[in-house]
Amino acid sequence: MSGERTPEDKYVSAQRRRYLYIILFLAIAIGIAVYSFGVGSAVIDFNIAIKVIIDRLNGIVPDRSVDYWAWLRDMLVIEDTVPRALGGLIIGAILGVCGAVMQTCVRNPLASPYTTGISAAALFGVTLSLVLGFRFIPIPGETGLIMNAFILSMFPCLLMIMVSVKRKTTPTMLVLIGIGVMYLFNAFTMIMKYRAEPDVLKQIQLWSIGSLTGIGWSAVYVLFATLIALLIFMLCFSRKMDVMASGENQSISLGVRPDRVRIICMVAISACTSVAVAFSGAIGFVGLIIPHLSRLFVGSKSKMLIPCSAVLGALLLIASDVVARLLGNGLPVGAVTAVIGSPVFIYFLIKMRSNGWGK
Amino acid sequence: MTPEGLNSEGDSIPDCEDILVEEYLSSARIKLLLIALLFIIAAIIAIYSFTIYGDMELSYVFELISNHISGNTYPEYSPEWFDDIIIWESALPRVIFCIIAAIGLAVAGASMQTAMNNPLADPYTVGISSGACLGLAVALSVGFSVNHGDLLGINIFAFIFSLFPLALILILAPKTHSSPSTLILAGVALSYLFNAANTIIMVTVDAETLETIYKWQVGTVSDIRWDNIPLTLGFVALGSALVTILSKKLNLLSLGDASATSLGVDPDNLRMICLVAIAFIVGAIVGSAGIIGFIGLVTPHIVRTFVGSNNKYVIPASAGLGIIMIITADILCKMFTVYDDMPVGAMLALIGAPIFLYLVIRRKSNVW
């Protein structure tokens, strides 16, 4: 019976395959990110971009007064394409993880990081600033706009905490509160839009689709710190989350208070999503579909699902950004994620004949 | 939508306990009274709304309508002639459409939530709205449409497009593991795909077309004419009747697929029939008025806090409350704006969302 594999062997090989999937996706994501350095600008192709980066790593910084073109190329690569690619990777990862955690928390395949109304609130913040010129923190330019989006997007979070202090919350209730908040802020936004100038309208629309333009190094630092904190936090909580997902009664009898874990996780991911949304706008699809796709590859266990959602999210967003830039025309990345992601998702849904939810 | 929720509403009558039967009947009576009350309020608001749309006395409105029906005409360009046009050509179709749309959306929403066993589901979950939107965007930007490209042609074109996502799902479903969550996921993926195509079109069109598409995405009833009524009325009446007949079986679906099967219902078939009925109801409404949100998603939830989760009561009560909400919102739109160009969807969410939040947070027991 030497050919028979024991269940233990099967588990180990399945686990190894899951790690391989994650590493493979990570490699592809990084490959596309490197490729993206040379995309989208007429004066820079891939070789020049790599040369500029190698020069920088060797400490060679071109002087503007000596060689203007070298300086310009350096500026474009170092200040625009590199932070944009890094930002895309990180935002995709954040949205993927937050989506996976949100779906586990509320036990609903329709949930996304925006289920609690974060994107609607952030959009209202942006609209306030663009239409009325109102800013919570009076800084001109992009920073004020980002702060507006961030501050308002914390509102759903606060509401959830307030409700959970007063009452015992259920997943459905949290989801319904999210729907209410979303509609409320969307209504405010619509009423402001209704009196807005056409070009402001276009700006708001672009923001609501989401794009990666204008992400600089300061944004990358903030986003990176957020991602690391999120990953560490969620991996520490992954065991408790799995217990919580097994059902209210089971998790109480196993010594985990489901409502408490749920609220802590949701507040944490809401804060991280707020950061991502504030910098990039409400990029949809990634947070909703990536966790499902990850479930098809690595199953529903949070310890594998969270890293896999992170790398797949990064992969989808950076690939979409490359496609958007290749197509040109200022196409926002949020419009492309679905074009690439939907067929892939439907293909795997059919091919695997399961939805990874075990029902 | 748990089994406990159904039992606590007394859906299954205990065989020998007279007191429980009595209690059930009296609670059923109260619920029926509540539904009747909702419809009476809806009728009063609908009648009152004429005075707002036409900005005239109620008795004068009745006089105009009865004169029109009895065939009396006014001299051309007299004040009465203009008032008659306002009431007969604009206000009346608008109110009638609001009633039809509210009934259709509320019924579709309530049954979709039950069929999918998901409180986040709404009439647009399987992608109907995104298909319709793409239809409109194609019709407006390419200029390709049916019926010589007039307004009705565009409406019908959008209606036809709205059925595409469901058709795709019907083709895909047998190839997958067809559970509610797979259907939802396929629907969501398809609607994102259609939306993306729509967004790509929207990036290329000029500001004026963009505004039309945008207004339509929020949902507006200010352009409704008599042309729109027959198509919408037909599909909504047929679809709603079908769903109402199936409401008892739908209740069984919320117990879970295994229990439903053992009680003699084929869950997959029932779900598909419901989806098709919902698609025709919602497609007909969306084709004419755009994506009116909120009603389909939230009205059933509000109603459940009062009448429990038995679809026998939820479906009619949602329809009644839906009518009240949409007409109130439309009246407010008309009152607060000069040119009557605020989309009713925005006003609906503005007045409905706080009420909804209050109910969800305050409510002691959980009906879902």
Q: List chain A domain ranges.
A: 7-352
> From the CB of residue B357, how many other CB atoms can be counted at a distance below 10 Å?
19
**Predicted pLDDT of residue B3:** 45
On whether the A7-352 domain is CATH 1.10.3470.10, my answer is yes
% residues pLDDT > 90 (chain B): 12
Give yes or no for residue B350 having a pLDDT over 50: yes
What is residue B253's predicted lDDT score, i.e. its pLDDT?
82
pLDDT at A90: 95
The pairs formed by B63-72 with CB atoms below 8 angstroms and a separation of 24 or more are B64/B88, B65/B92
Residue A246 in this model has a pLDDT that exceeds 90? no
Cβ-defined contact of A111 to B195 (cutoff 8 Å): no
Query: Alpha-carbon distance B252 to B257, whole Å?
Result: 8
The interface pTM score, or ipTM, of the predicted complex is 0.74
A273-282, A302-311, A328-337, B276-285: the lowest-pLDDT one: A328-337
pTM, whole model, 2 decimals?
A: 0.81
Exposure string over B147-180, b if 16+ CB within 10 A, otherwise e: eeeeebebbbbbbebbbbbbebbeebbeebbbbb
Mind listing the pLDDT tens digit for each residue in B80-91?
A: 788 888 888 888
Residue B353 has pLDDT above 80, yes or no: yes
Taking CA–CA distances from A196, the nearest residue in chain B reads: B211
CB contacts of A198 in chain B (<8 Å) are: 207, 210-211
Contacts of B215 in chain A (CB under 8 A): none
pLDDT for the residue numbered A343: 85
Residue A194 token pair? 């209704």
Q: Is the pLDDT of residue A17 over 60?
A: yes
Work out the average pLDDT over B22-31: 80
Give me the pLDDT at residue B368, please. Answer: 46
Percent of all residues in chain B with a pLDDT value above 70, rounded to a whole number: 90
Q: How far is A94 from chain B (nearest CA, A)?
A: 20
pLDDT over 90 (residue B77)? no
> Residue range B332-348: average pLDDT?
78
Q: Which of B121, B341, B349 shows the shortest C-beta gap to A187?
A: B349
CA distance B7 to chain A (A): 19
Measured torsion, CA atoms of residues A321, A325, A328, A329, in degrees rounded to the nearest 10: 50
pLDDT at B129 over 80: yes
What per-residue confidence (pLDDT) applies to B148? 58
Binary contact (B202, A285; C-beta < 8 A) = no
Q: Do the Cβ atoms of B200 and A335 come within 8 Å?
A: yes
CB atoms near residue A224 (< 10 Å) = 16
Q: How many residues does chain A have?
A: 359
More confident residue, B42 or B359: B42
Please give the structure tokens belonging to residue B359.
Answer: 């109910």
Instruction: Band the pLDDT of B304: cuts 50, 70, 90.
Output: confident
Q: Which comes out higher in pLDDT, residue B7 or B181?
A: B181
- According to the model, what pLDDT value does residue A30 have? 93
| CB-based contact B195:B132 (threshold 8 Å) | no
Q: Is the pLDDT score of A305 beyond 60?
A: yes
Structure tokens at A129: 């600033």
Confidence of residue A358 (pLDDT cuts 50, 70, 90): very low
> Does the pLDDT at position B100 exceed 90?
yes
**Residue positions counted in chain B:** 368
Region B104-125 average pLDDT = 86
Which pLDDT score, from 0 to 100, does residue A319 have?
A: 93
Nearest to B23 by CA among B35, B34, B10, B36: B10
The count of CB pairs under 8 A between chains A and B is 160
Query: Is residue B4 over pLDDT 60?
Result: no
- Whether pLDDT at B185 is above 90: no
User: Tens of pLDDT along A78-101?
Assistant: 888 889 899 999 999 999 999 999
User: According to CATH, what is the number of the domain B93-362?
Assistant: 1.10.3470.10
Among residues B305, B7, B346, B348, which one has the least CA distance to residue A173?
B305
CA distance A301 to A312: 16
Q: Which chain A residues are Cβ-neighbours of B121 within 8 angstroms?
A: 110
Torsion from C-alpha of B145, B149, B154, B155, nearest 10 degrees: -120
Chain B residues with CB inside 8 Å of A326's CB? none
What is the 3-state secondary structure of A246-262?
CCHHHHHHCCCCHHHHH
Are residues B306 and B317 in contact, defined by beta-carbon separation less than 8 angstroms? yes
What would you report as the CA-atom Rg of chain B, rounded to the nearest whole angstrom? 22
On the 0-12 / 13-18 / 19+ scale of CB atoms within 10 A, A195 is exposed
Q: What number is the average pLDDT over the span A22-36?
A: 92
Least CB-CB distance to A331: which of B181, B190, B200?
B200
What are the tens digits of pLDDT across the range A120-178? 999 999 898 888 888 887 777 778 888 888 889 889 888 888 888 887 778 888 888 88
Mean pLDDT of chain B: 81
- The answer to whether A289 and A339 have CB atoms below 8 angstroms apart is no
pLDDT of residue B364: 54
What is d(CA B1, CA B115) in angstroms, rounded to the nearest whole number? 11
